[in-house]
Amino acid sequence: TKETLLQIIKERILPGTTIMSDCWCSYDCLNSEGYRHQTVNHTYNFVNPETKAHTQHVERLWREVRWKAGNKRHHMFGHLMEFLFRFKHTVYQKRFHEIFKNIATLYRPISTDNDPKTTQDTTPPETEPVAITEIIPPTPISTHSIVAPILTAKESICQCHKSPPSKNALI
């Protein structure tokens, strides 16, 4: 309903924000509520010729997220978080490094010996922990076995530096 939509918008979007939408009547109140509302009528055009408003970017992004999520509602949050992680970290080669930085922020080293270099530090980290919503994308590895594949991948990276790969090695 119009009331529900307005309540959600007020909770999540700052006044003064420009909202672009189709011509659904429930959006009509947005200008009077402190938002800049621009519309596009898809019956006539995909871009409003006066304001240049369009919804193509949002619809494309939603199509990507929805395609990955499939029909399983319980997978939607994980797929959305993966999408946001990939969207935020566009350079493919740096994503793995970002994952390790997030892990290092969230988990301190643990050791069973009394070596002060490796025992768990109980002091809080110097930086604020990364929000859980920005952590590791849940696919292609399962959220239940996330540590083992990462450690295995890290070990294989270290092994690559020890000796050059053979010509037949798979990379």
Query: What is the pLDDT, as a whole number, of residue 139?
Result: 44
Q: What average pLDDT does this structure show over 130-159? A: 39
- pLDDT tens readout for residues 35-55: 888 777 766 667 767 776 666
pTM of the full structure: 0.39
Local confidence band at 153 (pLDDT 50, 70, 90 cut-offs): very low
CB proximity list for 88: less than 8 A, separation 6 or greater: 134
Query: What is the pLDDT, as a whole number, of residue 52?
Result: 67
